[in-house]
Structure 1
């Protein structure tokens, strides 16, 4: 199928020349604020100190990424001078804080922010994290469905790609000081979420997915047991449901668990990753020693990115090979495009 001009340009900007998404997240807010608070005290959780951490991540990691994910509260306004203009940029639309309704979570955006705002800020894509459970109360899910449709329509109007990051969460749990994988997550919760949001009415261009199998239970993909086959089948189900590109999130998994997850995902058809803490959390344990933090990014985070980038090249599926992009066409291309595009 043909892809609109702005979305096509955005997808190309976020990926590398081979069609792979090698995206690094520095939009985290609670994990960084919490570490500063634990090591330096509440008074040290300032805009400048949080921004300095994000600037360090940008300087070290963006040379090995196709795109960076920033937040508009800290990363973009503080660290913009360190951005490489040759790299793609995603901006996150949601706040990490949420409202509660009947024991379920309702996603909130930054006040007055919209896809049009993100486009105006110069981003190549909109990232929307969505707390979602198919088994949540109907009133909660009705609200979340309507919310995603609204954001999707805004992205269509601004002609900018929309990346959706749905996360299974514990029902009734109001503490989200730092995201952790839900202890009661089951494969069907992730699979049914994809089944819902693949519908065209939502306007999703890229899915950022969590592992359908809890990361602590993902077996080594080099094995041959039934657990390996069952895990691969769960990832394959995600791919069967989607004609769009999908990438994996790390959700706080360690380096080795995330390597395992990526191997299954890339074999199944994923087109890349959008990960943060799996790449840089070990180095961040050196904080507040910023010199040591940046040194460990160079000696640990960068080699790890090289390893997962090689894994992606070996097993991944370029987004340009996904069913929705196989025509390699821009919507309305031809002599009449100049007249048809404004409509």
Structure 2
């Protein structure tokens, strides 16, 4: 790996070489959450991101923000906190087949670096079972961004969300059954050096709501042993550093999932934790204003982050061990 990339990675990790990062680059989904609680304006998105950055980056190794609404948040982050920036447009064009990605039109890796980024993040919706002509577009798309990041010597974090358009409900039992295959095969594909990815940002390979012992009355899609095996398969599928995303689950379930991954022997290198950290703070902010939101972040939000940091101390391994 280029020395410049390693130097930047050090800015995004904690003293253990682990990514303990806060993700708040949500745009469309955050707008819906705020609107549901009575704040249906663009300023609310900017203000909440800024508030979360100001209050929570004292306890995180990095923060992920978008340049559309997150620049004020970038400016108030703690001086010890690294910055990851989103490069893709939010969502995808639902009128086209294949959930094809697109970039923010007025940004480039060079411009995001000039904005202060320590790493570039891309989200890609990917189905290994899509027709080759669709996936080839996505492969070329990631190759281009990888080349940009090499040219600028800045780390490339790539996030993958599995899907299957024949199973519309990604939270269903039916999708839970196919998810391990889709997630693990995606890891294998994008671990190839041609893509220039430095850190994989991954979903866990199962839906924990259908794991024996975690299912709370739901139908069981995987025994406990099967689920542990899928976590190990995912880890063994790559030599790249990888981190987990929280995927909007509760804080409690996310922490339990990290412990489960560790039990499986998964060699993961941290997290980019989003809504599991801050989603419950949206309501007091939207309904009662900045001070109510700040109080929630200073108390419950801080506790969520510090509890997560303690779990990472016991479960995650140094990213730099893999690079060496």
Residue 202 in structure 1 maps to residue 182 in structure 2: no
CA RMSD of aligned residues (A): 2.1
Deviations 1:244-303 (A, max 9, x none): 111100111111221122113344111110011001112223231233222222332221
Deviating more after overlay: 92-101 vs 82-91 = 92-101
TM-score (norm 2): 0.89
- 1: CA distance, partners of 2:3 / 2:252: 39
Deviation larger for 27-36 or 199-208:
27-36
In the alignment, what sits opposite 2:206?
A: 213
Out of 54, 66, 71, the residue aligned to residue 66 of structure 2 is 71
Which residue number in structure 2 is paired with residue 262 of structure 1? Answer: 258
Query: Partners of 1:62 and 1:181 in 2: how far apart?
Result: 31
Which stretch shifts more, 255-264 or 184-193? 255-264
Q: Is the 8 A contact 1:32 1:50 kept in 2?
A: yes
User: 1:327-338 to 2 correspondence within 5 Å?
Assistant: none
Q: From the superposition, tell whether residues 190 and 63 of structure 1 become closer, same or farther in structure 2 (CA, over 3 Å).
A: same
Extract unaligned runs of 5+ from structure 1. Answer: 175-179, 327-343
**Displacement of 1:220:** 5.7
Q: Does structure 2 retain, via aligned residues, the 8 Å contact 1:247–1:270?
A: yes
The separation in 2 between residues aligned to 1:294 and 1:181, in whole angstroms, is: 33
Across the two proteins, how many residue pairs are aligned to each other?
Answer: 309
> Residue 53 in 1 paired to residue 51 in 2?
no
- 1:234 match: 230
Quote the Cα distance in structure 2 between the aligned partners of 1:138 and 1:203. Answer: 21
- State whether structure 2 residue 130 is matched by structure 1 residue 131: no
Task: Give the secondary structure class of the aligned counterpart of 1:285.
Answer: helix
Task: Select the residue among 82, 103, 112 that pairs with 1:118.
Answer: 112
Give CA deviations for 1:43-91 in whole Å, capped at 9, x if unaligned: x412x22110101111221111000001000111x33331223211000
Alignment equivalent of 2:283, drawn from 266, 285, 289 = 285
Q: Does 1:187 align with 2:180?
A: yes
Which structure 2 residue ranges, 5 or more long, are not aligned? 215-221
2:321 is aligned to 321
Report the Cα distance in structure 1 between the residues aligned to 2:78 and 2:302, rounded to whole angstroms: 17
The separation in 2 between residues aligned to 1:307 and 1:194, in whole angstroms, is: 28
Q: Tell me, what secondary structure is at the counterpart of 1:274?
A: strand
The match for 1:15 is 13
> What's the CA shift for 1:137?
2.3
Q: Whole-Å Cα distance in 2 between the matches of residues 309 and 219 of structure 1?
A: 27
Q: What is the TM-score normalised by the length of structure 1?
A: 0.84
CA contact (8 A) 2:254 2:276 kept: yes
- Quote the offset at 1:316 in angstroms: 1.4
The corresponding residue for 1:300 is: 300
Q: CA separation in 1, counterparts of 2:213 and 2:13?
A: 28
Is the contact made by 1:94 and 1:109 (CA closer than 8 Å) also made in structure 2?
Answer: yes
- Distance across 2 between alignment mates of 1:243 and 1:321: 11
Mapped to 2, the partners of 1:253 and 1:199 lie a distance apart of: 30
